[in-house]
Every structure is written in structure tokens, then in C-alpha cells.
Amino acid sequence: MRKITIYHDPGHSWAKVPRKALYDLGIAGRITPFSYQRGAYVYLEEDCDMATFLRAYDEQVGGIPSFTESYTNRQSKIRSYCQYRSY
């Protein structure tokens, strides 16, 4: 994974990453319920979980992925997704 999308609404931001990447990096159990999930993707909240991901990615892969950003001035639909839980 070389590129991830960061979604922003007026109050928060999330990084969309494949759930498999969390398991591959060994951090699936360290992601909090403040992140969301939908299908094969997890939307990592900006305050803690995104940093956990980026730190693990840097340590294991080297560097950080590039970012594409998406903004909305409304409440993001991500907030309606299910809270994250590892399986």
C-alpha cells in the first residue's frame, strides 16, 4: 500500500486502510473503537489510531504512504459506519 486516502469533515479525520494491512502490521488488536469499519476497510481516527498505523508502517515497511485527501463541509458518512473491532 503506497497511498491512503484521508477523509475530513468539520470535526474529525480518518485514514482509509485495508483491514488486512492492520493484521499484516500486527496492530489490529491495538486499534480503538473510535475508528470505524466497513467491508474490507477500516477508517482510522486521526487522534490515536492513525499514528499507531503510521508508526508501525514506518518501522516495518519504511517511510509513510503518500496521502490523497477528501474534504466535506458536512458530517461525514464514515460516522455512521460500525465501530472498529478486530476479529
Is 90 exceeded by the pLDDT of residue 2?
no
Residue 30: C-alpha distances to residues 16, 34, 48, 82 (Å): 16, 11, 10, 17
Is 80 exceeded by the pLDDT of residue 87?
no
The residue ranges of every structural domain in the chain are 3-83
Predicted model pTM: 0.94
Tens of pLDDT along 65-75?
Answer: 999 999 999 99
CA distance 38 to 41: 6
